[in-house]
Structure 1
Amino acid sequence: MSYENIRLHVADGVARLTLARPAALNALSRALLGEFIDALDVIRGNDAARVLLITGAGRGFSSGADLSSGGSPAGSAGFDAGQVLEEYYNPLIERMFDLPIPIVAGVHGAVAGAGCMIALSADIVVAARSAFFLQAFVNAGLVPDAGSMWLLPRLIGRARAQAMMMLAERLSAEKAAEWGMVYEVVEDDALADRVAAIADRLARGPTRAHALIRRGVRAALDSTLSETLAMERAAQREAGASEDFREGIAAFREKRRPQFTGR
């Protein structure tokens, strides 16, 4: 699994995907986005991967879209700013939400633009104290994308989301945790160990139940209570038919730690 703009390694149930353009603050070029999409497809087809851990190399997680003169056609005659969404960002975000394994993101430094949304699309986000979150689209005369308008109001409410998107002000890691954008904040030198521990725990967990939780939460965000209750019933039936459920019950009765296999 060799890429030029990302790194991907799968071991012990954990797929580790690292944004690897540190000299460009991991700016999201089309080449990087294409590799990211390909990696998500590889992970989806790899039964050994039971959790995805996303991090960024260098001084920050990601500075957002690559708008540099050499890396983007932005500003050229006839440029369609929506095309890159259709071809890259939208398929990437959809793949992240549809992935049948949990996603953990460990972020530090700049977490900006579409890079912010890639991070926040994870199930569990841990931020280093150096992290800052920024919806920078309006600084370039653009609107927030990569799911910003769908996800941010659901995470932090309409008022905060619109202010964040319209004012393009930095949000500290501590404020992001206070607002419910991230799970927790840790010191920078503790970030790698913390997200690795969370990923390892999820990799040993009931993978099918994790998938059903991910799918159910997404569906419930746009469902009525009655629809959600029916969805939970169907998901519980599926989870209850799994080997991991039988193992969980056996472990509970035998007073031991369950050994889930993800089946």
Structure 2
Amino acid sequence: MTSIDDLSKVTLEEGVLRITISTAANGTSLDDEGMIQGAVALESFGNDIGSILLVGEGPNFCAGGNVRAFASAPDRGEYVEGVAQNLHTFVRALDAASVPVVAGIHGWAAGAGMSLVCLADIAIGGTSTKLRPAYPSIGFTPDGGMSWSLPRIVGAGRAREILLSDSIIGGDEAVRLGILTRLVGDDEVQEEAARLARTLAHGPSSSYAGIKALLRSSRTNTLSEQLDAEAASIKTAANSPIGREGVDAFVEKRRPDFVAAKQA
């Protein structure tokens, strides 16, 4: 079992939990150990995390699962299920996180890589970024939550077309569809994603947590139920140290210090 003392795929600096989801090894395929360590870090570091940054180390964000490993497994189904379960443990932890999730997507995001892009709160791509489900190309079906997240981003009909035709989606189209937040130069993706993650890590953390909780509840709530949830949430925010600091700073015409307010 991976412990907090053996987290070579993650770092925590300035409140930013940086998780490496792929490396140049194995053709930038999904790093199974990165998923395991990411889930451990999300549980272990708790309130020390101000934002989460998903990155790939190599020419791509993530080229999908390690198909060569699939092919060499004695029992392919059992092996692939194990990979999916590790990924899904990480996905559940990522979805439950109360802090912003930023992804820096350079090169390809295919298969599980695209699934993780769809889970990010903010996804920064480059002009050469490309996304592809990739599952049908090897006769597989989606994992990583893509069959759940993609329809919620692009709509059910468009998601069916993308998944069934195994569409290759360029950066501009991905922005139009809402899968990517925006594009920067290819050589700026990592730096811009890291800059944004640092900025968010020093922002109004309880406000972010409340926003994400409301977005999660909106998946199943009626409008009336969501209005009640919003009223309760904004009441809590107004009485919180961060909410008080935000209002006081506005009235006093100064920049709010949310970090100090959080520590108060």
What is the TM-score when the length of structure 2 is the normalising length? 0.89
Query: Residue 181 in 1 paired to residue 179 in 2?
Result: yes
Task: Decide whether the 8 Å contact of 1:25 with 1:61 is kept in 2.
Answer: no
Secondary structure (helix, strand or coil) at the match of 2:69 reads coil
Q: 1:222 to 1:25 in 2, by over 3 A?
A: farther
Task: Decide whether the 8 Å contact of 1:102 with 1:202 is kept in 2.
Answer: yes
Alignment-derived partner of residue 99 in structure 2:
101
Task: Decide whether the 8 Å contact of 1:105 with 1:125 is kept in 2.
Answer: yes
Secondary structure (helix, strand or coil) at the match of 2:68 reads coil
Alignment-derived partner of residue 50 in structure 1:
50
Per-residue Cα deviation, 1:221-255 (whole angstroms, up to 9, x for no partner): 22211111111112112212210111111101110
Distance 2:189 2:76 in 1: 43
Alignment-derived partner of residue 9 in structure 1:
11
Distance 1:11 1:24 in 2: 27
Alignment-derived partner of residue 32 in structure 2:
30
Task: Decide whether the 8 Å contact of 1:51 with 1:103 is kept in 2.
Answer: yes
Task: Compute the RMSD of aligned alpha carbons.
Answer: 2.1
Alignment-derived partner of residue 214 in structure 1:
212
* Aligned partner of 1:224 among 222, 225, 234: 222
Q: Which moved more, 1:48-57 or 1:10-19?
A: 10-19
Aligned-pair CA distance for 1:183: 0.7
Alignment-derived partner of residue 153 in structure 1:
151
Distance 2:51 2:72 in 1: 32
Query: Residue 59 in 1 paired to residue 59 in 2?
Result: yes
Q: 1:247 to 1:226 in 2, by over 3 A?
A: same
Read off the aligned partner of 1:156 and give its amino acid letter.
V
Task: Decide whether the 8 Å contact of 1:40 with 1:95 is kept in 2.
Answer: yes
Per-residue Cα deviation, 1:4-40 (whole angstroms, up to 9, x for no partner): 5x2x222222222223421223312433322222222
Task: Decide whether the 8 Å contact of 2:22 with 2:29 is kept in 1.
Answer: no
Runs of 4+ in 1 over 6 A off after TM superposition: none
How do 1:247-262 and structure 2 match up within 5 A?
A: 247-261=245-259
Task: Decide whether the 8 Å contact of 1:29 with 1:71 is kept in 2.
Answer: no
Per-residue Cα deviation, 1:138-185 (whole angstroms, up to 9, x for no partner): 112221121111110110111211111111121101110011111101
Q: 1:144 to 1:78 in 2, by over 3 A?
A: closer
Distance 1:20 1:146 in 2: 15
Q: 1:64 to 1:138 in 2, by over 3 A?
A: same
Read off the aligned partner of 1:185 and give its amino acid letter.
L
Read off the aligned partner of 2:43 and give its amino acid letter.
D
Read off the aligned partner of 2:230 and give its amino acid letter.
E
Aligned-pair CA distance for 1:256: 0.5
Read off the aligned partner of 2:236 and give its amino acid letter.
E
Alignment-derived partner of residue 39 in structure 1:
41
Q: Which moved more, 1:156-165 or 1:196-205?
A: 196-205
Identity percentage over the alignment? 30
Task: Decide whether the 8 Å contact of 2:22 with 2:61 is kept in 1.
Answer: no
Aligned-pair CA distance for 1:214: 1.1
Read off the aligned partner of 1:55 and give its amino acid letter.
V
Q: Which moved more, 1:155-164 or 1:188-197?
A: 188-197
Distance 2:241 2:76 in 1: 57
Q: 1:78 to 1:54 in 2, by over 3 A?
A: closer
How many equivalent residue pairs?
257
* Aligned partner of 1:169 among 155, 167, 170: 167
Distance 1:71 1:214 in 2: 39
Q: Which moved more, 1:116-125 or 1:33-42?
A: 33-42
Per-residue Cα deviation, 1:108-161 (whole angstroms, up to 9, x for no partner): 111011111112211101111121111011112221121111110110111211
Aligned-pair CA distance for 1:187: 0.7
Q: Which runs of 5 or more residues in structure 2 are unaligned?
A: none
Secondary structure (helix, strand or coil) at the match of 1:89 reads helix
Secondary structure (helix, strand or coil) at the match of 2:40 reads helix
Secondary structure (helix, strand or coil) at the match of 2:78 reads coil
Q: 1:255 to 1:124 in 2, by over 3 A?
A: same
Q: 1:147 to 1:11 in 2, by over 3 A?
A: same
Per-residue Cα deviation, 1:174-200 (whole angstroms, up to 9, x for no partner): 110011111101111121232122112
